Chain A
Amino acid sequence: MPESGAARLERVFRDAGRPLFVPYVMGGYPDMEASRRHAQILAAHADIIELGIPFSDPLADGPTIQAAGQAALDGGTRPVDVLDIAGDLRDGPPVVVMTYFNTVIAQGARDFLAAAAAKGVAGIIIPDLPVDEAAEVREAARAVGVALIALAAPTTDDARMAEIGTSAEGFVYLVAVTGVTGGEMTMDDRLRALVDRARRHIPVPVVVGFGVRTPDQAAEIGGLADGVVIASEIIRRIGNAPDPGAADDAVDAFGAGVAAALRPYSG
């Protein structure tokens, strides 16, 4: 029996002994080959890779990820192609796929999850599948060794935090802001209290994302949480690069910068 995705993820947190860096790559943006390269480049700096499968109507995403996803779809990106990128990263950091629920159920959740598992995917994040709707998918995912990563938000009350904690595996993705992706978080007492509340109710590692833009912000989050997700900022840097080589360099430099910002927490 191979190690489950949940066990692999939890082992990465244990072994690192410092907050983890979880960069996001949108599969198929700006094109399939480039996203494959960006995933490889980030693998050298990251502890976990969040791999986005584009969806036509991403309700939790702001303009940056929306536009990237639409560009990927316009380029003909399909879920199977994105899962191939996960297959390439088998010997690297664990991959957590992020996509919306309709992508998962379009051909049947069981088949989708089995295909992801076959590519070595460790976990899946489905932002429009709240904990009360998730039981069936969580079981189907668990059966093939994929962890369903739950989300919690600033508006999640204590009772719900505890409910999320009860079934959580791998880690919990804590949304730093009341809003969609692509804004900017601010480290303040509210955010500190939120992370604190989440950690009290949730027994697995807590990773914070939404609105984290700079290595300094990542380091601030690292002082509180078990990991930090950065998504829109990476896409923005890719979009601003004048050519593919410059985009690769920008991804590399940014990834190295965030990893360095989190390193002082080691040991």
Chain B
Amino acid sequence: MSVNMRFGPYGGRYVPETVIGALDELTEAYERYRDDPDFLSELGVLLGHYVGRPTPLYRARRLEDAWGIGSGLWFKREDLCHTGAHKINNALGQVLLARRMGKERIIAETGAGQHGVATATASALMGLGCRVYMGRTDMQRQRLNVIRMRMLGAEVHPVDSGSGTLKDATSEAIRDWVTNVDTTHYIIGSAVGPAPYPEIVADFQSVIGIESRAQMLEETGRLPGSVVACVGGGSNAIGIFRGFLDDADVALVGVEAGGEGPSGRHGASLALGRPGVLHGSYSYLLQDPDGQVAEAHSVSAGLDYPGVGPEHSHLRDIGRVTYVNATDEAALSAFLECSRLEGLIPALETAHALAHVRDGAAALRDGGPVLVCLSGRGDKDVDQAGAALGIDASA
């Protein structure tokens, strides 16, 4: 089966000629291995015994009460994946592909550091060299993940251009790839980038949706009324949505970074951007009238990105998914409520999905049980969230 290059008008391969051959090679490798029994069994064993899949489905009863969601609130526990977020599902799949393509060096970009940690982990496991590009601003706010990557043997390369965040790190990773394409596989961390990346990442993440659909049926005897996920580039969201795209009665909701709110800086590409080309694909984008890409803003490094994956742009246009946003402030308070009521410290990215569930509860609960992709845990965020919330370690 051939790999999707476009989602409606979105996607494509808007990259320098130098890497086109490598994209062709990746496309061929993926077509060859996606249904290959040896590949699938190697990945399956790792997902089961190393990542800890299937991840559980958990009913968050205390938040149900606090937020008035009588129809039921369920968490798909990607925070329990090894390394602490869904990113490992994609990183392992791509490292296995890279090895089959004979690549000896892995590069990645990272915002929150979760994709960087996942890629450093997978590279360590496979004995491949790994360099991770990370914006200087993000290295400060996700300091703990920088240390983890270095402990895992990866080289973390600071990026000072632009605002020193995910956009700049991605540009720098692509430049490295353009220069070292013969030896290097670029593991992109979200469902973004030139084709075939958005399809490959979505496919490796679709395990989230496949598992949670079956688990909802088993636990509740029905499908959820709505599925809610945060959207940075959109990999955890597309991963869970893909399990439900054909279930017309299941409402799908993506939550982008509302940042400082509608009049301030934000990361709400789908709500407030217009289509353009960044990092190799045509998709919704925050930009000025001349097409200069705008700097996004979010309290969470993983949602601080002016673009979004092309499949989300298509799902937005055809109306299959509704995209909303949650502000920094709303996310921080949801972060604290989830920690205090459930004993689950969520990632700041994930807290955006929770904030929407809280603030949109009235509309969501009418449809039936609410399923949230709990994309990651918040260990990495304790410095930053603690500072924002006035919680520290002093006596």
Contact = CB atoms under 8 A, between A and B. Distances in A.
A181 B250 CA distance: 49
B372 to A, nearest CB: 33
Q: Which of B182, B277, B285, B291 has the most CB of A within 10 A?
A: B291
A155 B290 contact: no
Query: Secondary structure of the A side of the interface?
Result: loop
B178 A180 contact: yes
B175 A160 contact: no
A56 B293 contact: yes
Interface in A119-134: 127-133
Contact of B21 (A59, A107, A157): A157
Contact of B291 (A59, A103, A152, A157): A103
B318 to A, nearest CB: 22
Q: Which of B16, B17, B277 has the most CB of A within 10 A?
A: B17
A70 B161 contact: yes
Nearest to A73: B292
Contacts of B12: 133
Nearest to B276: A102
B278 A102 contact: yes
B287 A102 contact: yes
A253 to B, nearest CB: 31
A78 B18 contact: no
Contacts of A183: 179
Contacts of B225: none
Interface in A166-180: 175, 178-180
Interface residues of B, number: 33
A133 B12 CA distance: 8
Contacts of B290: 78-79, 103, 106-107
A226 B304 CA distance: 45
A133 B175 contact: no
B277 A155 contact: no
A106 B174 CA distance: 22
Interface in A63-122: 66, 70, 73, 78-79, 100-107
A243 to B, nearest CB: 27
Contacts of A246: none
B17 A59 contact: no
A105 B276 contact: yes
B264 interface: no
Contact of A155 (B19, B276, B289, B291): B19
Contacts of A70: 161
B291 A105 contact: yes
A62 interface: yes
B14 interface: yes
Given A59-B171, A106-B291, A157-B21, A101 B277 contact: yes
Nearest to A107: B289
Given A102-B291, A180-B175, A155 B20 contact: yes
B389 to A, nearest CB: 33
Interface of B: 12-22, 161-162, 167, 171, 174-175, 178-179, 181-182, 276-280, 285, 287, 289-293
Sorted from nearest, which 5 A-B pairs have the closest CB atoms?
A: A106-B291, A179-B179, A153-B18, A102-B291, A56-B292
